[in-house]
Amino acid sequence: MALKRKTTGSQNVQCIEYFVDVGDTVVTVAGATQGALAAGAVYPIAELPPGARVIGAGVEVVTPVAGFTGGSLKIGDAADDDRIGTTAGAASATLSVAGALRIEGDALLSVTATSGAATAGALVIRLLYITPGKADENSGR
């Protein structure tokens, strides 16, 4: 067993911001071009470094999403579409992250809706992450 001591190293938390508007078009993971807030859209929003751990995420509603019902946003990766979280609705700013989540490859946004198509809406999605084993600063004491 090792004698544990306090750490003297720390790293800065990185933040990725992704702005999406109802008028934007994206290329989905299937290679199709469609509206960024169209029901069924699944597309990459960020490329995280290998081994990154997502420690926080949020959705800022710039303009409320309108036009479809039963909608939500999922943020995840290819293995699990809601690994990072799911909003309560397409216009929700509530997104909870459980622990430090390892993301493999691109972070993906999935848009779900039971009916209709988005006619308005603009969001900023933020992903906060760290890279284990990296130190940006050392107090040296």
pLDDT digits (tens, 9 = 90+) for 90-124: 555 556 565 667 776 788 888 876 666 778 888 88
Is residue 112 domain-resident? yes
Is residue 90 domain-resident? yes
Is residue 137 domain-resident? no
Distance (Å, rounded) from C-alpha 141 to C-alpha 60? 40
Tokens found for residue 115: 């009916």
Q: Let me know: does 110 contact 34? Beta carbons within 8 Å.
A: no
pLDDT at 53 over 80: yes
How many domains does one find in the chain?
1
CB neighbours of 10 closer than 8 A, spacing ≥ 6? Answer: 135, 136, 137, 138, 139
What confidence score (pLDDT) does residue 114 get?
65
Among 42-51, 81-90, 129-138, the range with the most confident prediction by mean pLDDT is 42-51
Q: The pTM is what?
A: 0.81
Is residue 6 domain-resident? no
Q: Give the structural domain span for 60.
A: 13-131
CATH number at residue 36: 2.60.120
Is residue 8 domain-resident? no
Is residue 136 domain-resident? no
More confident residue, 15 or 66: 15
Is residue 48 domain-resident? yes
Distance (Å, rounded) from C-alpha 78 to C-alpha 45? 12
Provide the residue count of the chain: 141
Is residue 76 domain-resident? yes
